[in-house]
Structure 1
Amino acid sequence: MTDARILRTRAALHKAITELATQKPVGEITVSELAESAGINRVTFYKHYTTPAEALADALHTELVKVCDEAAPATEIDPFTHCIYTALDHLEARKQLYTIAFNDQVDGTVPMMLSRFLTGVAETYLTKRRKRKPAVPDVDLDVAAAFLATGATGAIRVWILEGDMSRERFFENLPLLLPAWFLAEEQSS
């Protein structure tokens, strides 16, 4: 069990970094500024993270895991697409932060975090799909998952930066971009 003080400190850091990253790119946030905003000292910060970017990636990843885990799976769509759909709530709630992050030409923390998160979701889905019919083609699942996740991250980037927050528009395009075998209706073996 994790110490309550550690949990409180992490929560304060997550709150502070997401608030600061809503105002400016994470590369412009100093450790001193973040520590002060979280109500801790620099030494305590370094017990948890090495950079503000690492703290931001952890905060957003934690929120995405929570959003996707809490949402009831939709039976009509695959878990990868479902997780993207539920993650849009998170993205909408943090629209300003993601807009700043996706516009940042120097720091790629947020897009990399999102891509890694979606890669994990895709790997889990593809591993389960491999046991069902129709079969997943004989592809390296790690490569396929990373490819799908990076593409989805790129699509999310366009969706955020264009300012068209229509889920309908996003999900009209997504099935057209995914491989046919990915969306094939699953049948038990």
Structure 2
Amino acid sequence: MTDARILRTRAALHGAITDLATQKPVGEITVSELAETAGINRVTFYKHYTTPAEALADALQTELKETCDAAAPNGSVDPFTHCIYTALDHLEARRELYTIAFNDQVDGTVPMMLSRFLTNIAETYLTKRRKRKPAVPDIDLDVAAAFLANGATGAIRVWILEGDMSRERFFENLPQLLPAWFLASDNG
């Protein structure tokens, strides 16, 4: 069990880094500024993270995981698509932060975090999906998962930055972009 002080400190750091990253790119956030905003000292910060970017990635990944785990997919939707759909709630709630992060030409923390998160979801799904019919083609699952996740991350980037596409329109496009074998399933 994790010590309550550690949980409080992490929560304070997550709140502080997401607040600061809503105002400016993570590369412009200093450890001193982050520690002060979180109400801790620099030494305590370094007991948890090495950089503000690492703290931001952890905070957002934690939120994404909680969002995706909160609503289990029904049998007709694959977990990858379901996770993207439910993640849009998180992305909309943090649109300012993601807009700043996706526009940042120097730091790729947020897109890389999102891609890694979706890659893990896709790998898990494809591993389970390989045991069902119709079979997943004889491909390297890690390559396929990364391809799907990076494509989804790129689509999410467009959705965030253009800001005029509805959630429904986003999901009308998604099945057209995924390979047919990905969506085919006996649900068994």
Query: Structure 1-normalised TM-score?
Result: 0.98
% same residue: 88
Q: How many angstroms apart in 2 are the aligned matches of 1:187 and 1:49?
A: 41
2:60 is aligned with 1:71: no
Q: How many angstroms apart in 2 are the aligned matches of 1:50 and 1:83?
A: 29
Paired residues for 1:148-163 under 5 Å = 148-163=148-163
Paired residues for 1:159-178 under 5 Å = 159-178=159-178
Paired residues for 1:11-50 under 5 Å = 11-50=11-50
8 Å Cα contact 2:102/2:157 also seen in 1: yes
1:67-100 per-position Cα deviation (integer Å, ceiling 9, x unaligned): 0011131222111000000000000000000000
Q: How many angstroms apart in 2 are the aligned matches of 1:148 and 1:71?
A: 21
Amino acid at match of 2:159: W
In the alignment, what sits opposite 2:183? 183
Aligned length: 188
Q: What SS class does the counterpart of residue 153 from structure 1 fall into?
A: helix
Query: Structure 2-normalised TM-score?
Result: 0.98
2:85 is aligned with 1:90: no
Shift of 1:169: 1.0
Q: What SS class does the counterpart of residue 105 from structure 2 fall into?
A: coil
Gapped regions of structure 1 (runs ≥ 5) = none
Cα 1:36–1:148 shift into 2, 3 Å = same
1:139-170 per-position Cα deviation (integer Å, ceiling 9, x unaligned): 01111000100000000000000012511110
In the alignment, what sits opposite 2:132? 132
Shift of 1:118: 0.1
1:114-157 per-position Cα deviation (integer Å, ceiling 9, x unaligned): 00000000001000100000000000111100010000000000
Amino acid at match of 1:56: L
Shift of 1:187: 4.5
1:20-77 per-position Cα deviation (integer Å, ceiling 9, x unaligned): 0000000000000000000000000000000000000000000000000111312221
In the alignment, what sits opposite 1:114? 114
Q: What SS class does the counterpart of residue 24 from structure 1 fall into?
A: coil
In the alignment, what sits opposite 1:101? 101
Q: How many angstroms apart in 2 are the aligned matches of 1:164 and 1:114?
A: 21
8 Å Cα contact 1:134/1:187 also seen in 2: no
